[in-house]
Structures are given as C-alpha cells and as structure tokens.
Structure 1
Amino acid sequence: MYTIDTKGHLCPEPLIMASNGLKEVKEGEKVLIISDNETSYQNLMSFLTDLGANPVASKKGYEYHIEATKPAKSSPQAENNPEQYCSVPGGAAPATDYVVVARSSRMGEGDPELGDLLVRGYLNALKGMDHLPTYIIMYNGGVKLSLEGTDTALALGELEDKGVSIIVCGTCVDYYKVKDKVSVGRISNMYQIATILAEAGHVVYL
C-alpha cells in the first residue's frame, strides 16, 4: 500500500502531502497516511471525507493511521485547496501549534526541590488543557523526565495517549547512560529536533 508519512510536519504540509500522494495512485487504490498529532489527524479526516476518499482511521501507539481510497471523482473544492482544512474541526478558529521543550529535569532556576515540584505540576496541569502541544521535546537533563519509575514519565505517558508526540534526545540518553530506562516517547536525533523547532508555531521552554 502506498504510504504517506506526515510525521513531524505541521499544517498545512500533511494536507498537501496527502493530496499529492493520492495523485500518485490509480482510482480505487488505497493509501496509508500516517500522522503523529491529533490536530493533523482531524484536519486530514475532514479533508479526505470531503474529497470522497472514505477514510478509515486507527491509532497505533502515538501514531494515527488513516486508510483512504482514491475516488473516481474528487471534490474539486477539496482537491484544489487542501490548505483550507488547516483548522480545528467544528468551525473554531485554529489555535497555534506549539512545542514544549524540557531542557532540564526541573523547572526554572533556584531551589532544586521546588524545581522538581514545579515540573511535575506543569505536566499534570498540561494534561487537563484543551489545547495540547504537538510535541514535548526533552534534551540534556530533560531526558530524565522520561525515565521509568518517575511521576513525570507517568504524566508524559498520559499526554502521549492524548496525541502528544514525546521526543527524547538520543545523544543525551547515551551521554547519561539511561537509554534502557526511557519508558515513554521515542528516542530521536538532533536533526529531527531541529526540524520540529524550526517548523513550530510557538515554542515553550521549561
């Protein structure tokens, strides 16, 4: 099956990639579109439905998998302008995609115990927000938030279940010798981290 991997891309790129990918297959053939955040997934579902591609979705870990069929006759309005679907379903104005970056296992400077308390409080508060980040990136000491047996790893796991992509710096876990203790997210490289930060609508540094 022809696969269109939109992971790491922010709107409207996943929509454009899906539109272009469908042009590469024949009428009636299926394509698999992979997304790693809920906003892109919802936008893709709206676009593919209006296009007449009969999308069928499933979730596998942190990924959204959408199977779509190239229709015999596409909606010209959808096909010619996929960017119009770059919004939150329901007619609400789209909120800016943002990325949270944890550079340390604590939040802020000053007393270490207070910093530990603050970062746990922040992640727990984040779970209850309607507008979640697209990614949470951890590098340097921040990778320790993802280690098994920590309250922060549990909170990150819940955020991952809600569609937030958790990215852990591979160089950093190797440096701290904790790679085998990472219990949430996916270990990645600095190239992908740099790409995500460059494309982010807004970045929040802890």
Structure 2
Amino acid sequence: MSQPSADVSVRVAWADDAPGIAGVQVRAWREAYADVLPAEALAGLDVEHVAAAWRDALAKPQDARNRVLVALERNRVVGFAVTGPAGDPDCDPVSDGEVGEFRVDPGEQRKGHGSRLVQACADTLAADRFSRAVAWLSSTDDALREFLTGAGWAPDGAHRELDLHGDGTVQVKQVRLHTALA
C-alpha cells in the first residue's frame, strides 16, 4: 500500500501570506548570512516588521509583471520567490525577467519545494513574455548554485558586490545565473 502524497503546491502570494513569507525569509537569512552579518543584526530581524513590509508590497506591486510566488505544504508557506523585469543595466526589461529572491525554509529543504518553486518562476516569467531569466546569488552559496545549474541555469559572467547595510560595511559578492525560457 502506498503512502498518500503530501498536499504541496505553488501559487501567487496573497496579502494573508505575508507572515508566512516573513517567517521563511527571516529563518533563511539567519542561515544564509550567518557568516556575513553580525549576530546581533540577524537576531534583530523582526518577523512582524518584515511581514508588514511584505503586506504592503503584496498590496501595491511596482510593476504589473512583479509577482511573489509561495511554495505551500497544505496551507503553510514553506518557500517563496519574487519575479519581475530584470533591473540590471545590461538586461532588457522587456525580454529579461529576474528571480529577485528565492528562499525555501531551511527546515523544509530537499522535499521538492525548491524544484516546484523554480519551475513556477520559469513558467510565470514565460507567461509574462520574458524570454530569458536571471538570478543573483551569493558567490559562496554552493548549494543554491548547484541546485540552479541542475535545473538548467548557468553563469553568464556577470558579478557584483551587494551592499547589505547601505553604508559599505557589509559587502556580499554575487554571481549572476541565467536560463532561456523557451
């Protein structure tokens, strides 16, 4: 007798998803930036404050092609991604879409949520008539790089330093990956 499959899905986020998205983001950032940001900065991330920002962003998207997707297990948010037009100067905002943020809750990884989420990103960007997708990731995030390259993404040679504090004190080196959406 086989086990019933879990109730898992990906859909466009609703304002009610803001607390779940914020919780995933805070937990994921605490893990991803543990070696980059001071411990007190990570401990100071407030889920309620982050949720309020998500609620506002979900209520008033900046562009009709900006989307927030949530990966769900039953009705619980276990991951999220943000898609929209690519903003890099060497990208064409008409044909190049971007996955601006891609997070799966650290306790929910390796359960297929990331695969469903990255496929939903590609499908969403293609439906929004983008022909190429790009994503920036930390140059030291080997797990995400391996995951995305396994899904058909590849480095395109672009790199940058992201200023996390806005004052030059914390720089994160990033590389850009891309994939065709045909």
Q: TM-score higher than 0.5 here?
A: no
Give the TM-score, by structure 2 length: 0.29
Give the TM-score, by structure 1 length: 0.26
Higher percent of residues as strand = 2
Which structure has the larger Rg? Answer: 1
